[in-house]
Amino acid sequence: MELDQARAIKWMRSFTDVRLALATRLGVEDGDEARWAALPDDDPVSQAHDIYEWVGYLQETLVEALDD
């Protein structure tokens, strides 16, 4: 199934909302990568941060696809 531009923009907005909510909840800040890397994989906070990063990846790939 192809995604038209209007739907892609709606998805990007949704991804942005999810990332902002997760970042706020987790207290994500610029330059705090070491903090997240230090958490054990089985830590629920680390797992929530993984979701934050995954949504960012989805957002990035959508932006790249729209640029093509």
Quick: pLDDT tens for 11-47.
999 999 999 999 999 999 999 999 999 999 999 999 9
Q: List all residues 6 or more positions away from 22 whose beta carbon is below 8 Å from its beta carbon.
A: 28, 48, 49, 51, 52, 55
Residue 66, pLDDT score: 85
- pLDDT interval class at 67 (50, 70, 90): confident
- pLDDT interval class at 56 (50, 70, 90): very high
Provide the domain count of the chain: 1
Residue 46, pLDDT score: 96
Find the domain containing 51 and state its range: 5-67
Residue 45, pLDDT score: 96
